[in-house]
Structure 1
Amino acid sequence: MKKFQTWIKKWMVDQMDLPADVVMDLPRLTMVGHLHVYIENHQGVIRFTDKELRLAMTEGQIIIQGEGFIIKSILPEEILLEGIINHIHYSDNLN
């Protein structure tokens, strides 16, 4: 059933020219150089240190690693992270 739902959502994105991040509940990351990243459509903070930010997604998590991290802004589904960003990784594993 889940594969069918995903197929329908992809079809809607392709045929109706709808934004994939909204229809498929995907995160949107906007990065400016390696100095800050703005993440929309997250499901909450799992872990935050000055070197790592882990955000829950609908399926999986996003792991951002670097140095000197500061959360400049946080809203229920949006976050602005500043610092030196070295690595961004998506994991479909929730551990």
Structure 2
Amino acid sequence: MNKIANRMKRWMTNQLQLPADVVMDLPRITMIGQLHIYIENHQGVLRFSSNELRLLLKHGQLLIKGEGFILKTILPEELLLEGKINQVLFINENENT
């Protein structure tokens, strides 16, 4: 049933020209150089330190590594992170890290 729902969402996205991040619950990530990253449509903060941010996504996790991190804005489904960003990694649901 889940495969059918995903196919239907993809079809709606293509046929109705709707944004994929809205229809398929994907995160929208806007990065400005290595200094700022703005993330929308996340499910919550799992871990935060001055050199790592881990977010829960609908399908997996997002891991951001760097230095001197400061959360400038944090809202239920969006956040703005400042600092030197070295890595942005998507972790699938079935991977263990």
**Shorter-chain TM-score category?**
over 0.9
Deviation of residue 59 (structure 1)? 1.2
- What residue identity is the alignment partner of 2:40? E
- Give the match for residue 4 of structure 1: 4
Deviation of residue 92 (structure 1)? 1.1
Deviation of residue 93 (structure 1)? 2.9
Q: List per-residue Cα deviations over 1:39-84 (Å, max 9, x = no partner).
A: 0000000000000000000110000000000000000000000000
In 2, Cα distance between the equivalents of 1:61 and 1:3?
Answer: 21
Question: Residues 66-77 of structure 1 correspond to what in structure 2 (within 5 A)?
Answer: 66-77=66-77
What's the RMSD between the two structures over aligned residues? 1.0
Give the alignment's TM-score, normalised by structure 1: 0.97
The gaps in structure 1 that reach 5 residues or longer are none
- Give the match for residue 23 of structure 1: 23
Which stretches of structure 1, 4 residues or longer, exceed 3 Å deviation after superposition?
A: none
In 2, Cα distance between the equivalents of 1:14 and 1:93?
Answer: 25
Matched residue count:
95
The gaps in structure 2 that reach 5 residues or longer are none
Q: Does 1:33 align with 2:22?
A: no
Percent identity between matched residues is: 60
Give the alignment's TM-score, normalised by structure 2: 0.95
Residue aligned with 1:4, SS: helix
